[in-house]
Amino acid sequence: MAETFIKVENLSYLYDADDGNTRKALKDLSFEINKGEFVAILGHNGSGKSTLAKLLNIILTPTEGKIFVGGKDVTDQNMSDEDILALRKTVGMVFQNPDNQLVATIVEDDVAFGPENLGVSSPDIRKRVDEVLGYVGMTEYAKHEPHRLSGGQKQRVAIAGVMAMMPECIIFDESTAMLDPLGRKDVMEAIERLNRDKGITVIMITHYMDEAARADRVIVLDDGRLILDGTPSEVFEEEERLRECGLAIPQCTELIHKLRAEGISLEGECVSLEDCVALIERSLKKQ
Ligand code: ADP
Ligand code: MG
């Protein structure tokens, strides 16, 4: 039986905008995320993804509704500062722009910053820093200056910094959006390994369909509402619905849908190029 890790119940969030108006950024969201799951949250700009991430990390508090993490109500008004610190230790966050999250002038000091704040002992910090830098493939850059690194390298240092706090869950808020294709690939691989090898629950916010395709589950937001929740294959079946909210399915999936519409029998899931090749190969061999 899968164990529920995060439970979101009828969550709404209203911003008070500068012009005196209010803006409902999230509307009555309910969903659960299991321990060890890799969930992608997909949505067009302004659909409420970052607002949701900030709520899950208690940077914002809900206007309505509740959030439970590990069975604990983290939206309880009586949460102490210690409780909030414990939550941030459990649920880490990596943002879009690596330049905004690197704080020190040397890579290894930057990675040590989180555990130092949590009061971890110096020898343990040393061990953690060495381990996580190795994990993200940045050991040789330990003494380098972060601002001289490439975007992908900076983002991997940021991931190492969050990992060093040993969270159970990491939220990535469009953490590959500012990277070139190579940097994106490196960071995606690091995220997948965290989930697969370390069992860390991953919530990956993205507007890249090919990234969402690699998750166990995809949740789609549109204008603050949860409109789809399922496996990548189930969600990509809803091509029209996705298009209406400004999202296009991966081209390989679209190709398979078009061929099926022409009456060609292609059985099985297709969310990646590899799936697409396998489906077509199988179909050709049957003929
Ligand atoms: P996303 O991350 O999906 O692009 P956001 O969660 O950032 O979406 O924003 C959701 C909606 O809330 C948008 O319409 C945005 O304009 C609005 N919004 C975000 N931050 C603020 C803010 N600080 N004040 C007022 N409105 C905001
Ligand atoms: Mg955002």
94: pLDDT strictly greater than 90: yes
Answer yes or no: do 190 and 95 share one domain.
Answer: yes
Answer yes or no: do 132 and 222 share one domain.
Answer: yes
pLDDT in tens, 196-254: 999 999 999 998 899 999 999 999 999 999 999 999 999 999 999 999 999 999 899 99
Q: What pTM value is reported for the model?
A: 0.93
Residue with tokens 């983290």: 74
pLDDT of residue 180: 87
pLDDT of residue 46: 94
Whose atoms come closest to the Cα of 97: which ligand?
2
**Beta strands in the chain, from DSSP E residues, in sequence order:** 4-16, 22-34, 38-43, 64-69, 72-73, 91-94, 169-173, 201-206, 217-222, 225-230
pLDDT of residue 48: 97
**Residue among 50, 54, 222, 245 whose CB has most ligand 1 atoms within 8 A, to mutate:** 50
Angle at which helices 251-261 and 273-286 cross, to 10°: 30
Answer yes or no: do 143 and 271 share one domain.
Answer: no
Confidence at 186, pLDDT banded by 50, 70, 90:
confident
Answer yes or no: do 132 and 263 share one domain.
Answer: no
Answer yes or no: do 230 and 116 share one domain.
Answer: yes
Answer yes or no: do 91 and 178 share one domain.
Answer: yes
- Closest ligand 1 atom number to CA of residue 53: 6
For residues 195-213, b (16+ Cβ closer than 10 Å) or e, as one string?
Answer: beeeebbbbbbbbbbbbbb
Cβ–ligand 1 contact at 128 (below 6 Å): no
CATH number at residue 125: 3.40.50.300
Answer yes or no: do 230 and 263 share one domain.
Answer: no
Answer yes or no: do 86 and 227 share one domain.
Answer: yes
Whose atoms come closest to the Cα of 175: which ligand?
2
**Residue among 12, 15, 42, 205 whose CB has most ligand 1 atoms within 8 A, to mutate:** 15
Residue 110 alpha carbon to ligand 1 centre in Å: 29
Cβ–ligand 1 contact at 282 (below 6 Å): no
For residues 116-125, b (16+ Cβ closer than 10 Å) or e, as one string?
Answer: eeeebeeeeb
Cα gap 160→27, rounded to integer Å: 34
Cβ–ligand 1 contact at 176 (below 6 Å): no
Task: Give how far Cα 222 sits from Cα of 44, 46, 225, Å.
Answer: 7, 8, 5
Cβ–ligand 1 contact at 22 (below 6 Å): no
Looking at the domain assignment, is residue 30 inside a domain? no
Looking at the domain assignment, is residue 62 inside a domain? no
Q: Which helix (H) or strand (E) holds 233?
A: helix 232-236
pLDDT in tens, 155-172: 999 999 999 999 999 999
Query: How many domains in the chain?
Result: 2
> CB count, 10 Å around CB of 56?
23
Looking at the domain assignment, is residue 157 inside a domain? yes
2: pLDDT strictly greater than 90: no
Answer yes or no: do 210 and 278 share one domain.
Answer: no
- Domain hosting 108: range is 37-50+80-240
Looking at the domain assignment, is residue 16 inside a domain? no
